[in-house]
Structure 1
């Protein structure tokens, strides 16, 4: 998503919003769908569940940049569990399995 932001830097607000809707929103939708379905499969003491709850409590703010507000890299970065990474629109564990 930060690469998308670098590419649209300097565009007017209307174009930025359209490009975010086209390019960033599908990624965010996938990032949001995963934690909505996963909590039922995790133990209450799971660190991943804590990260899921963290991002879900802050989701509105996380996705607000789609409406032409600057991104907050820290919030997104802190929401990803240790050892996990984003590959395409999937959250992956350190051993590359889909979370």
Structure 2
């Protein structure tokens, strides 16, 4: 019976140690920004009268779709690199194009 008590105590200590190491690993990865690169703020040019209609994330890129009047340049999609915060490109809808 004594051996069983010692085994249960030993296993409880192992579980607690494992949980502690897991928490430590998560905290250090978040603190280092592991895999995120991170950036503080990015200003994406948004024409007057336009709004962000939809967002999506694909392969470390943020894709923004604007909506509003085409005459104001609102019909466009902007792609932003989430690692650097740099605008990679824009696809614009041109009114009156065939």
Q: What interval of TM-score do these two structures reach, taking the shorter chain for normalisation?
A: 0.3 to 0.5
The structure in which a higher percent of residues are helix is: 1
Bigger RCO of structures 1 and 2 (CA < 8 A, at least 6 apart): 1
TM-score (norm 2): 0.33
Larger Rg: 2
